Amino acid sequence: MDDKTVLDERAVDHIDPPGIDDELREQAVAELRKRRELAAHLMAFVLVNTFVVIIWYVTGAGFFWPVIPIFGWGIGVVFHTWDVLWPEPTESSIRSTMDRIARRR
């Protein structure tokens, strides 16, 4: 095997596969960022609310007041999770909705 063959094989390894769609890549990166943001949101929710419950426990308060911020923030976590995990509309569902709207006109 000569040096030219080795260089050609290395060059092939570094070439992007044909047909990579930049728009699809951007969509995948955006989805991964949304999932990472959700993970950070969930971690903050658990850590902060754990700290709030510890404060409640240490102070010896009778009424479990941490339920108020846990519930309020929990609503935000549910909507954030829904936004990240709910599937995007398919092309067929978009077409059927367009047809339904067109029939109403």
| CA dist., res. 70 & res. 50, Å (int) | 10
Q: Could you read off the pLDDT of 1-39 as tens digits, one per residue? A: 555 555 555 555 555 555 568 888 888 898 999 999 999
Length of the chain: 105
Our CA dihedral for 84, 86, 91, 94, rounded to 10 degrees, sits at -110
Show the tokens assigned to 78. Answer: 């549910």
Given a cut of 90, is residue 87 above it in pLDDT?
Answer: no
> Phi, psi at residue 54, to the nearest 5°?
-65, -40
When pLDDT is cut at 50, 70 and 90, the band that residue 83 belongs to is: very high
Tell me: the pLDDT tens digits for 54-66?
Answer: 999 999 888 999 9
Residue 91 or residue 76, greater confidence: 76
